Amino acid sequence: MKTFCGRANPTTGALDWVEESEEYDYHQEIARSCYADMLHDHDRNEKYFQGIRAAVSRVKARGEDVVVLDIGTGTGLLSMMAVTAGADFCYAVEVFKPMAEAARCIVEKNGFSDKIKIINKHSTDVTVGPDGDMQVKANVLITELFDTELIGEGALPSYEHAHQNLVQDACEAVPHRATVYAQLVESELLWSWAQLQPVEVGGARLAPPPALGRCAGAHSVCDVQLSQVPPGGFAPLGPLCTVFQVDFSRPVSSAFASSSARFAARASGRAQVVLSWWDLDMDPGGTIVCSMAPSWTYPQPQGAPWRDHWMQSVYFLPAEVEVTEGDELVLTGCHDDYSLWFNLQTQRLQDSSPSSPPSLSSRPSCSCLAHLVWNRPRFGELNDRRRTRSFVSALRSVLREDSVCLSVSDGSLLPVFAHMLGAKKVFALENSRMSKQVIEQVLEGNSLKGGVELLEVRAEQLSISDLGGEQVSVLMGEPYFSTSLLPWHSLFFWYCRTALAGLLRPGASILPRSASLHMVAVEFQDLWRIRAPCGTCEGFDVTPMDEMVQRSLDFRESREAEPHPLWEYPCRALTESCAVMTFDFTQCVPEQPISSQGSLPLTRVGRCHGVALWMEYQLTEDVTVSAGLTGPITEQGDCDWTRHRKQGVYFLRSPWDSSGDGRAAVSYSFTFEPSSGDIKMDFSVTSQ
């Protein structure tokens, strides 16, 4: 069945009515899922298998039949492990209907249909009894309900309900126990994701508004591949502490709880950030451990397991705290049913009175609005001094005493910079009232109120009267828009520029004056796993999962690039980088499509998994800002990516082994469709 859905177009800004199947969202969910990543996580699978075998053996040693409850079964892999280990029967619960269907196919294909029952429900809706979903309560509980924060997918309420209704009192749980670790650190890099820092503009200092400095920030966890933050990127102020332990074999509570770790500060510095990860003990003795620790905690970092479905967590303290080596510190971790947060108390050796503890029982929440307008990479971008210098330099080169400036970006400081640099008048279009209020706070906090007029109006609705009867001499943007997912979505600036053409003075400066789309063919160290076929996993045939994912990919109108922050996912360039399309912002959006074709020779040895794509913005003739590579590719092909923006990744249907002699090449074809703002792309590898 087809239906028409209204979708906001992030590039054109228009509301597009698209004819889609009622199963579109299902297919999108499957195509972008992390199931392949989990199935390729050999360390996870092996530890689960070992823990399941041990639990089944313990129950059998008691002379009992083994009845398993597998909550969040996914592909059914853990249920098949349980039956292989000797379980008599398994109830496998999966709430996502397409996955439940895939699990039925996989279980049947592997010959386990008589011992595994797939239940397509949320576990809290499962019933036990003669007419229920389960005939009897289980004595082995297997779950994979965890996310990077451990409890963010509702693990605690699910366990709480299971122990009350679905499992026996003496059940064995796999995993048996979870331990959450935390370490207090100082990190200029990480703290730049949480608070706006002062910046020098034209000899003057732009300070963050007081409300932002007092704000506890966003409550949501910052999940990150902490292995890619080098040890030099932070300074530990205390030891690695155990803050929580959860025994899953006993009744679990989802109520608020807190736990504190007391220690002496190991160094002086600014306590700003808590790094956190967790381990799973698959057995009561803790001999089978699946760890989420970052690679730099391992004696041999290259041997650390890689996974994307579970990463590490970064928590920001409500405010940075100056500590002195030897100070007695109390780090308190709190959790409710879905999230964790941390607070810090300090006590000087010479002072018997501890600092006043903040409220613990409620999650930190944003009171300044900035953390709701700017996500964490955006904070980092605004705090990037090098990037700011580029924009200030570009603005200096185009501003005149009589300049009338108009800024088109979301929550941008560019209009503030223009005012500080002496522009006659500065206007800024803001996409939301909240964003407008944040910039108003910046202006008021720096006694610049009235220097910038913020207009909560769309570009096509703006009139000359809104600008006080004056035409625009400098149209500027970063460009940054909160609705952008893929790099080229920022071409929304071009559509706004086109809508504003009638308000521009003849010869008006456009900043940036152009943008270019760049590409490079790459070999991923690990990211390829999220799209690699699974086939056989731990001895079980899971090809129905591959078939379902492929159907979902084919269901789309065309294959698409995906947004990924490539600084977290190391890759090697196998070709040189190349600008494949240029968009001239000094002109309006053309009516006809723009096309580009060509090829890049594979000049380095490696396995080509796909293509990385990003935008670069030419602010002026002399100043360019990259939203992708931050420097030249090394001779070995190593790439350094910006931490502020996501890049596009297009995975090849099949990887290509490059000999590096240049005889093989990645052919590309791009077409920019002005009517829709889409960039259609296709890649193939050919050899001579």
Rounded Cα–Cα distance for residues 14 and 540 (Å): 47
Q: Taking a C-beta distance cutoff of 8 angstroms, is the pair 154, 188 a contact?
A: no
Beta bridge partners of 618: 514, 624
The answer to whether residue 153 is catalytic is yes
Phi and psi based region of residue 496 (left: phi greater than 0; alpha: psi -120 to 50; beta: remaining): alpha
The answer to whether residue 144 is catalytic is yes
Catalytic residue among 108, 153, 470, 538: 153
| Beta strands at 571-573 and 514-524: parallel, antiparallel or unpaired | antiparallel
Burial class (CB in 10 A: 0-12, 13-18, 19+), 318: middle
List Cβ neighbours of 362 (8 Å cut-off, separation of 6 or more). Answer: none
- Most distant pair of Cα atoms in the chain: their distance: 90
Count CB-CB contacts under 10 A for residue 393: 13
Catalytic residue among 94, 144, 186, 616: 144
For 351, how many CA atoms within 13 A lie in the half-sphere containing its CB? 13
Q: What secondary structure does DSSP assign to 491-539, as a single string?
A: GHHHHHHHHTGGGEEEEEEEES-EEEEEEEEEEESSGGGGGS---EETT
What secondary structure letter does DSSP report for 646?
P
Phi and psi based region of residue 162 (left: phi greater than 0; alpha: psi -120 to 50; beta: remaining): alpha
Phi and psi based region of residue 288 (left: phi greater than 0; alpha: psi -120 to 50; beta: remaining): beta
Q: Which helix (H) or strand (E) holds 8?
A: strand 2-8
Beta bridge partners of 167: 138
Rounded Cα–Cα distance for residues 266 and 528 (Å): 40
For 429, how many CA atoms within 13 A lie in the half-sphere containing its CB? 27
**Residues designated as active site:** 144, 153
